[in-house]
Amino acid sequence: MTNLTHLTITEARRRLAKGEITAVELTRAHTEAMAAKRGLNAFITETPDLALEQAALSDARRAKGEAGSLEGIPLGIKDLFCTEGVRTTAASRILDGFTPPYESTVTANLKRAGAVSLGKLNLDEFAMGSANITSHFGPVENPWKSKSDPAKKLVPGGSSGGSAAAVAARIAMGATGTDTGGSIRQPASFCGIVGIKPTYGRCSRWGIVAFASSLDQAGPMARTVEDCALLLGAMAGHDPLDSTSAPLPVPDFAAALTGDIRGLKVGIPKEYRPDGLSDEVARIWDLGIEWLKDAGATPVEISLPYTKYALPTYYIVAPAECSSNLARYDGVRYGLRVEGKTLDEMYKKTRAAGFGAEVRRRILIGTYVLSAGYYDAYYAKAQKVRRLIADDFNNAFKSVDVILTPTAPSAAFGIGDNTDDPVTMWLNDVFTIPTSLAGLPGLSLPAGLSADGLPLGLQLIGRPFDEETVFRVAGVMEKAAAFTAAPACVAPTQARRESAGEAGEGV
Amino acid sequence: MSLDKATVRSIAELARIEVPEEALDHLAGELSNILTFVEQLAAVDTEGVQPMTSVTAMTLPLRADDVTAGGHADKVLANAPEAMEGFFTVPKVVE
């Protein structure tokens, strides 16, 4: 019998439908993997008993002929989504003891589709970070190891680091992530999986702990493009509870994977090839361009001239919104309270003890840029530059259908590296932040391995609400990349398409 | 922009985050670095550019002004660090 944790969602759905496996069997294989790989620290809260209960109910629904689109599929949920009756932490001490009395729209949609939840996945505190090292519950370890130093613990990327690690380590078949400046795409790249941040408004933000409301967007992470398409189809949809959720029908994203991209124009932005871009990343990008040409698409050089201002724009807009959103954590209504003699003292002590260093820093920066006398110089200025960045993309999409870039400037680095200065860590998101500021869909897929044996991802960016073209191109690239490598902790002989002889090639 | 200790102290006060006196210097350095980084934006000509407040072209929808939820005081208070007789409790505010 094949190892059930190695199946894709697509294959598991087929076997479940044919009655070859049950949801309980599939879920038990994953709860066992979750226990066996606890060392990765991918989960903050494991709910194996609940998962098996849900799986049994799923089997019963299937027996009655009421199977949903993700019936019986075990998933992990980033611990930023509120889940009714299951502790939700946002990886912060300040939500100590918080158990939501309601369910986020996205996770409710997944439940309705029949999915089983294995538990709540680790992340950077309040989704602020690019290495999953700011979690109050400790860092997540990337299941991948470098060839040169196999003992070294690497970061899974962030903020959706637990999601990426769990999917790569075959603990979960897929996971939810959220992406504010690259938090789905960069960890997907670091862990060798697929992840898509859909267009802003495609998924409801209701019940997701807020970080920067004009940027936050939920999306799926899985091991194949088709699996991501299936997951997004279940997660997305209009929700009256989120006024920014788009009142648009949800297309059949998986049906967009036609394999035919002939005649498509693919933008290659010259600003994404700065001096000092690593040779490996440049090479894999060139390889991606070749795959698209081979499939009949036409690469077109484009210019996105305001790209270099995206990072400073983001680090005004996101902290400003964060300082406003996180004002709600006051020790009164939920979470941690540290007593003080006065109400103000209680607020200050609670927030000092409850927030970690990176979150405190961003709140302070946000407070400063929004304060009287500085608002125009910083926040209003950033909002104007944000429009120029979005206009760059609008102009580009007049002549191209999709844009191809690297996802991140490097492969995964060591836990503890890049921490000398906050700005160094932020540079990880240099290729993903512009897309976020423009609200566009962006997908990362694994394209190959670095010389050191670590995954490198490529990013596809689409027009607003045109995830279908992104998926269609991603499907073609996935086939060309034939990325079959898996982390060493995943037994290669048991994996689908993952026999040792087919392991991914270095670039 | 280089922030001094007094400015950091007042930002922390506005943000209601207690910062120990001995941490102010280091924090001032970190925040100053960040501000220097974001101040590259000053070089961008934004004359006549409208600030972008929403990435979608949508206007905010209106709905009927009906009560659609409520009556869950017990659920609302269930997560409170301290609650009494249907209310949140806080340290004494009025002397």
First to last CA, chain B: 41
Q: Is A160 noted as a catalytic residue in this protein?
A: no
The Cα–Cα gap between A95 and B15 comes to: 18
Residues of chain B with Cβ-Cβ distance to A334 below 8 Å are: 79-81
The Cα–Cα gap between A303 and A298 comes to: 16
Number of neighbouring beta carbons within 10 Å of residue A388 = 19
- CA-nearest residue to B62 within chain A is A243
Q: Does A238 touch chain B (CB under 8 A)?
A: no
Asked whether the beta carbons of residue B30 and residue A361 sit closer than 8 angstroms, the reply is yes
Nearest one of A221, A32, A41 to A142, comparing CA atoms: A41
pLDDT at A491: 64
Judged on CB neighbours under 10 Å (0-12, 13-18, 19+), A493 is exposed
Nearest one of A115, A129, A118, A94 to A38, comparing CA atoms: A118
Q: What letter represents residue A93's amino acid?
A: R
pLDDT band at A387 (very low <50, low <70, confident <90, very high): very high
Q: Which of B40, B51, B91 is facing A312, going by the closest CB pair?
A: B40
Q: What is the DSSP letter of A27?
A: H
User: Which residue blocks in chain B are alpha helix, DSSP H?
Assistant: 5-14, 24-38, 73-77
Q: What is the DSSP letter of A456?
A: E
Q: What is the pLDDT of residues A207-265, one digit of tens each?
A: 999 999 999 999 999 999 999 999 999 999 999 999 999 999 999 999 999 999 999 99
Q: What is the pLDDT of residues A451-482, one digit of tens each?
A: 999 999 999 999 999 999 999 999 999 999 99
B70 domain residue, yes or no: no
**Rg of chain B in Å (alpha carbons):** 22
pLDDT band at A101 (very low <50, low <70, confident <90, very high): very high
Tokens for A81, please give them.
Answer: 């989504």
Mean pLDDT of chain B: 92
| Contact between A355 and A211 (Cβ < 8 Å) | no
Number of domains in chain B: 1
Q: What is the pLDDT of residues B9-18, one digit of tens each?
A: 999 999 999 9
B10 domain residue, yes or no: yes
Give the alpha-carbon dihedral of A291, A295, A298, A304, to 10 degrees. -50
Judged on CB neighbours under 10 Å (0-12, 13-18, 19+), A226 is buried
Among residues A37, A58, A78, A436, the one annotated as catalytic is: A78
* pLDDT higher than 80, residue A335: yes
pLDDT band at A80 (very low <50, low <70, confident <90, very high): very high
B23 domain residue, yes or no: yes
pLDDT at B9: 97
Nearest one of A182, A128, A131 to A362, comparing CA atoms: A128
Our CA-based measurement puts residue B38 at a distance from the nearest CA of chain A, in whole angstroms, of 4
- Residue A237 has phi, psi (to 5 degrees) of 135, 155
CA distances to A211, A297, B20, B30, B67 from A349, rounded to whole Å, are: 21, 58, 11, 21, 36
The Cα–Cα gap between A179 and A181 comes to: 6
Q: Which of A333, A346, A349 is facing B88, going by the closest CB pair?
A: A333
Reduced to 3 states (helix: H, G, I; strand: E, B; else coil), residue A354 is helix
| Contact between A142 and A130 (Cβ < 8 Å) | no
pTM exceeds 0.90 for this model: yes
* pLDDT higher than 50, residue A507: no
Reduced to 3 states (helix: H, G, I; strand: E, B; else coil), residue A461 is strand
pLDDT at B92: 84
pLDDT band at B22 (very low <50, low <70, confident <90, very high): very high
- Domain holding B20, by residue range, is 5-42
Q: What is the mean pLDDT of residues A418-441?
A: 90
Judged on CB neighbours under 10 Å (0-12, 13-18, 19+), A25 is middle
Among residues A163, A183, A204, A323, the one annotated as catalytic is: A183
Q: Which residues have CB under 8 Å from A474's CB, separation 6+?
A: A194, A225, A443, A445, A460
B78 domain residue, yes or no: no
Probe site for chain B from A88, A89, A95, A367 (most B CB atoms < 10 A): A367
User: Which residue blocks in A397-466 are alpha helix, DSSP H?
Assistant: 422-426, 433-438
Asked whether the beta carbons of residue A368 and residue B91 sit closer than 8 angstroms, the reply is no
Least confident of A151-160, A369-378, A417-426: A417-426
* pLDDT higher than 70, residue B72: yes
First to last CA, chain A: 34
| Contact between A245 and A218 (Cβ < 8 Å) | no
Nearest one of A244, A231, A249 to A204, comparing CA atoms: A244
pLDDT at A38: 98
Residues of chain B with Cβ-Cβ distance to A437 below 8 Å are: 55
* CATH class given for the domain over A4-305+391-504: alpha beta
Number of neighbouring beta carbons within 10 Å of residue A11 = 17
Nearest one of A473, A471, A477, A438 to A457, comparing CA atoms: A477
Q: At what angle do helices A105-112 and A225-235 cross, to 10 degrees?
A: 110
Q: What is the pLDDT of residues A33-59, one digit of tens each?
A: 999 999 999 999 999 999 999 999 999
